Amino acid sequence: MHSFDTRPIGVFDSGLGGLTAVKELKNILPNETIVYFGDTGRVPYGTRSNDTIIKYVRQDIRFLLTHGVKAIVAACGTASSVALPQLNDEFGIPLIGVLNPVCQAAVKASKCKKIGVLGTTGTIQSGAYKKGICQIDQTFSVYEKACPMFVPLVENGYIESEATYIIAREYLAPLMEEKVDTIILGCTHYPLLTKVITDIVGDGVFIINAGYETAGYTKTMLSQQGLLTDSPHKGDCRYFVSDDAEKFSYLGGMFLEETIPAGVTKIDIEVF
Amino acid sequence: MHSFDTRPIGVFDSGLGGLTAVKELKNILPNETIVYFGDTGRVPYGTRSNDTIIKYVRQDIRFLLTHGVKAIVAACGTASSVALPQLNDEFGIPLIGVLNPVCQAAVKASKCKKIGVLGTTGTIQSGAYKKGICQIDQTFSVYEKACPMFVPLVENGYIESEATYIIAREYLAPLMEEKVDTIILGCTHYPLLTKVITDIVGDGVFIINAGYETAGYTKTMLSQQGLLTDSPHKGDCRYFVSDDAEKFSYLGGMFLEETIPAGVTKIDIEVF
């Protein structure tokens, strides 16, 4: 006997990046309803202290719970690596970070057992991907590199510009020296730089996209726990932000690769 | 008869940039006590909506008032241009923005009556510098350019790198086409890019530094209102931030061009 659950899936991110995960979720779970919160009023998380990140993530989760969600995806490398390990058992529903799905995919992909990780300063300082990979298999070597310029470059449209190539070459050089064969994009903004990164490291390096891997992991997990919907209809996606809704609609389309419908709602996240 | 006032001067900024103004204040008013608040937990202001910026600035001012300040300098282009016009009479002490001092200096400097303005997205969208200059003299032409990459470049140490030159050339090109002879650095981070900007526009263009002009303006204003201190001793500077104090001490030295002493205090700005 199958059980089903028509409640929505909650997804949050510090801003826009999590939309790369929403895109993948909509793709493989088209009939699920999604409630997305982008904390655009407090972006970026990656440069904040751990205490601040944990406080923010708790508020993000509390807000999504007011929408009766059945599971929450932290589609944010920083939130997943810094806050989730501390909050996992606090809310009584599954919290899915990008960390586990990505580490599993990377271990599976790497033949030479050398994996590179790109992320925000917070993510890299946490060492979470390194720990995650070593928990799966201690024989892997992990080389981490903070890329603090990637988020502002993406958000300002420097997707394939010369300046982006210069900065990306600098970030990627130490990973190339170590001859990694797999690179984790540990921040949901970075898939937009896949072409730049592939141009620099070459086709022989496997690129792990956090949004894609997390969507797949979410589907498996919901299925195992009998939490998938049985709705035969295409699910809605509702968007909430903590700052200007208009700017979110405009930039969000770039991440989602489709137009965000009208009706993005601005909320006060500080009250949650 | 002279009156004097030994209360501190309050200075705030969305983060670190305001320290370029503190540096200039310490230089020309060495015996004044300064209380600095850097809103590092909510930086950057420049990309936020007007409502959010005004809410944040009100909290910043309320916090500084708890330290008994006699005047407050908003050492932040975004706060000065977006929020101060609405808050000017709300708190019963002088609020000094970077806007007026800078516009006056620019009008004085420009011979051809063509002024360029560089600032964050919020500052440029507000059109505040353009309005400020036209209020002084309607015959001036003002060309504004948002430079959203400058703050992340500075904060990540890309001060004179190739990527910074590429992006700066792009931002400055439209101003050069208009043949401006004066450029306002409308954000307190930008003085750190003075060499890059001068290299691109040449020595013939006058560069207006908001921190420098605002410090001079503050001295004149305090003097006129009998608010200068009569202390014969070098004044202290106390630093408060809304996120990690350690990171502030480390990066702050770059803006202040001297070491920030131990004892930066982290506060919760949301309660003010």
Which regions of chain B are under pLDDT 50? none
Q: Which of B156, B167, B244 sits opposite A148 (nearest CB)?
A: B156
Q: Which listed residue (B103, B147, B187, B237) is catalytic? A: B187
pLDDT value at A1 more than 80: no
pLDDT, one tens digit per residue, over A140-172 is: 999 999 999 999 999 899 999 999 999 999 999
Percent over 70 (pLDDT), chain A: 99
Q: Could you give the domains of chain B?
A: 9-97+212-271 (3.40.50.1860), 100-210 (3.40.50.1860)
Q: Which two tokens stand for residue A4?
A: 């089903």
Contact assessment for residue B108 and residue B100, using Cβ atoms and an 8 Å cutoff: no
Q: Which residues pair with A47 in a beta bridge?
A: none
pLDDT value at A37 more than 60: yes
Burial class (CB in 10 A: 0-12, 13-18, 19+), B135: exposed
Active site (annotated) includes residue A187 = yes
A268 CB near a chain B CB, below 8 Å? no
- Which carries the bigger pLDDT value, residue B243 or residue A219? A219
Contact assessment for residue A100 and residue A206, using Cβ atoms and an 8 Å cutoff: no
Grouping H, G, I as helix, E, B as strand and the rest as coil, residue A262 is coil
Helix B19-28 × helix B210-224 angle, to 10°: 50
Strands of A237-241's sheet in order across: A95-97, A71-74, A9-13, A34-38, A237-241, A265-266
CA distance B136 to chain A (A): 32
ipTM at complex level: 0.81
Percent over 90 (pLDDT), chain A: 77
B42 CB near a chain A CB, below 8 Å? yes
Count contacts between A and B (CB, < 8 Å). Answer: 49
Residue of B nearest to A149 (CA): B152
Q: Which of A49, A149, A243 sits opposite B49 (nearest CB)?
A: A243
Amino acid at A147: C
Confidence of residue A247 (pLDDT cuts 50, 70, 90): confident
Residues of B in contact with A167 (CB under 8 A): 158, 163
Q: Quick count: other Cβ atoms within 10 Å of Cβ B137?
A: 11
Contact assessment for residue B141 and residue B167, using Cβ atoms and an 8 Å cutoff: no
Grouping H, G, I as helix, E, B as strand and the rest as coil, residue A152 is helix
B158 CB near a chain A CB, below 8 Å? yes
CA distance B259 to chain A (A): 22
Predicted pLDDT of residue B133 = 97
Q: What is the mean pLDDT of residues A233-244?
A: 93
pLDDT, one tens digit per residue, over A55-98 is: 999 999 999 999 999 999 999 988 998 899 899 889 999 999 99
Q: Quick count: other Cβ atoms within 10 Å of Cβ A11?
A: 30
CA distance B163 to chain A (A): 5
Contact assessment for residue A74 and residue A128, using Cβ atoms and an 8 Å cutoff: no
Q: Which of B155, B156, B244 sits opposite A49 (nearest CB)?
A: B244
The torsion of the CA quartet A185, A188, A190, A195, rounded to 10 degrees, works out to 90
Say how far apart CA B148 and CA B21 lie, in whole Å. Answer: 20
Which of A8-17, A47-56, B65-74 is the least confident region? A47-56
Confidence of residue A207 (pLDDT cuts 50, 70, 90): very high
Quote the pTM value. Answer: 0.85
Active site (annotated) includes residue B76 = yes
